[in-house]
Amino acid sequence: MEIDLTTLAAGLAIGLGALGPGIGVGLLVSGAMQAIGRNPDATPQIQTNMILGIVFAEAIAIYALVVALIIKFV
Amino acid sequence: MEVMQDVMDDVMGGEEGCMSGCITRTGCLFIIILIAVLAFLATKFPVALPEIALPAEPILTLPFAGFSVTNTLLATWLTMLILIVGSFAVTRNLKLVPSGLQNLVEWGLEVLLDLVESVSGRRGRQFFPLVATIFIFLLVSNWMGILPGFASVGLIHEAHQGGYQVQQVSILGLDIGLLQAEEVGEHETGWTVFSFLRSAATDLNTPIALALISVFMTQVVGVQAQGVRYFTKFVNLRGPMGPIGMIVGLLETISEFAKIVSFSFRLFGNVFAGEVLLAVMAFIVPYLVSIPFLGLEIFVGFMQAFVFAFLTLIFMHMATMGHEPEGEE
């Protein structure tokens, strides 16, 4: 089996880069779910802020994706 | 924040209507037949994977100054045209009691204005024009980018590597080449499409331009609010802590530049990744599997426009406030 090293690098870049944001999004959602469980009336605000937080955590995975795309396609 | 809730409901919470529609027997049958037909079409007419390129493709090169008009620039102009024509159409005959389009636009702007004022209070009206412009421009350009015709209609060029076969068709006297999904052999020339239009934010230049405007205006707003005292945030010699103030100022200066990078890469990465995702999904399983991802792209396009505009707002709001040690997070 032959594999191009750039392909491997792109895979590693996004794979390792998605680890941290994955943990971050998990923590965010778990916190938000607990908060909603304790105070269901505040669901809309908690949900909105949760989505906003997820977007920021996800942005880091997107940086890794950009790096992977640059490695692969440039 | 309610806008976001509404759109989230539209994007995520729409299952109820579908469930009641799909549960009937004829509905089920119809969907199964549709899937079978689409699966048959997918094997018969596979979809070509477009060449994924980071820089925008030039469409026409102007003879002077070596300036070439790229497809993302065309999409940006189209967005601007839509916004200009749209705003003229809305404000052409304003009525005291609005109806129709005017009513819709007034509602949207009111929701935005409420949101802005809830973040920055009485200064909200000062920030509103820039923040709302960024939001509306990005929303229109992001949502326009997933319309059919973007990234699929364009000039046919020789591919650098790989590429696809082309079938010549003549419709109404125009020669049109249809890109076939069969890959070419080793020594034939392959072809690829430089599309006429490509979502504006998939070119790094657009997000960087917006980020520069946003960060520059943040400094302007800061100086307007605090005068020369604003710059003590960056160079602080007379502070009570002496050299520590210098280091904090250095960090603040770096963080201004980091803002440009994070603004532009967040927007560019999300939109570009969305385009690649749609192209790859349409290539792997044609026609059907792309549909939920189109919904995802609508949501992402909205979220990125929202995040860009409201981070600008929050940074501006922070710049207007003084530099108290306990005020910093």
pLDDT recorded at residue B13: 46
Report the C-alpha gap between B152 and B143 in whole angstroms.
16
Position B10 pLDDT exceeds 60: no
pLDDT at B40: 77
The pLDDT assigned to B14 comes to 45
What pLDDT is recorded for position B26?
Answer: 80
Secondary element (H or E) of residue B101? helix B100-120
With contact defined as beta carbons under 8 Å apart, do A18 and A61 qualify?
Answer: yes
- The residue of chain A nearest to residue B301, with distances taken between CA atoms, is A55
Judged against a pLDDT cut of 70, whether residue B166 lies above it is answered with no
CA separation, residue B30 to residues B16, B21, B37, B40 (Å)? 19, 11, 11, 15
Instruction: Give pLDDT, residue B277.
Output: 83
Unique residue bearing structure tokens 């049109």: B176
Tell me which range, A15-19, B89-93, B121-125, B311-315, is most confidently predicted by mean pLDDT. A15-19
Residue of A nearest to B261 (CA): A63
pLDDT of B22: 53
ipTM: 0.71
CB contact under 8 A, A45 and B276: no
Test B273 with A51 for CB contact under 8 angstroms.
no
Give the range among B136-145, B158-167, B252-261 with minimum mean pLDDT.
B158-167
The token pair at B220 is: 């302007």
3-state secondary structure at position B127: helix
Residue with the bigger pLDDT between B162 and A17: it is: A17
Q: Give the pLDDT of residue B308.
A: 92
Tokens coding B188: 């034939």
- The three-state secondary structure class of B152 is coil
> Which band of pLDDT confidence, cut at 50, 70 and 90, is reported for residue B328?
very low
In this prediction, residue B41 carries a pLDDT of: 75
Higher-pLDDT residue of B160 and B197 is B197
Are A55 and B307 a contacting pair, CB within 8 Å? yes
Tell me what pLDDT residue B246 has.
81
At A31 the pLDDT is: 95
More confident position, B281 or B134: B134
Hey, which of A8-12, A41-45, A66-70, B241-245 has the most confident mean pLDDT?
A8-12
| Candidate from A48, A59, A63 with C-beta closest to B1 | A48
DSSP string, B194-260: EES---GGGSTHHHHHHHHHHHHHHHHHHHHHHGGGGGGGT--SSSTTTHHHHHHHHHHHHHHHHHH
Q: Between these two residues, B158 and B264, which has the higher pLDDT value? A: B264
pLDDT of residue B314: 86
pLDDT tier, B216 (very low <50, low <70, confident <90, very high otherwise) = very high
Model pLDDT for residues B100-114, shown as the tens digit of each residue: 888 888 999 999 998
Per-residue b or e along A58-70, where b marks 16 or more CB atoms closer than 10 Å to that residue's CB: bbbbbbbbbbbbe
Least confident piece of the model among B2-11, B193-202, B254-263: B2-11
Is the confidence at residue B291, as pLDDT, over 70?
yes
On the question of pLDDT at B15 being above 50, the answer is: no
Note the pLDDT of residue A16: 93
Considering the entire predicted model, what is its pTM? 0.78
A3 has a chain B CB within 8 A of its CB? no
User: Taking Cα atoms as reference points, which of B242, B268, B284, B3 lies closest to residue B138?
Assistant: B268
Cα B215 versus chain centre, distance = 19
Q: How far is A45 from chain B (nearest CA, A)?
A: 8
Tokens 């109806």: give the residue: B99
More confident residue, B172 or B35: B35
- Three-class HEC string of A9-61: HHHHHHHHHCHHHHHHHHHHHHHHHHHHHHCHHHHHHHHHHHHHHHHHHHHHH
Inter-chain CB pairs, A–B, below 8 Å: 47
Give the nearest partner residue to B4 out of A48, A63, A69, using CB atoms: A48
Residue B325 clears pLDDT 50, i.e. is over it: no
Dihedral pair phi/psi, residue B30, rounded to 5°: -60, -45
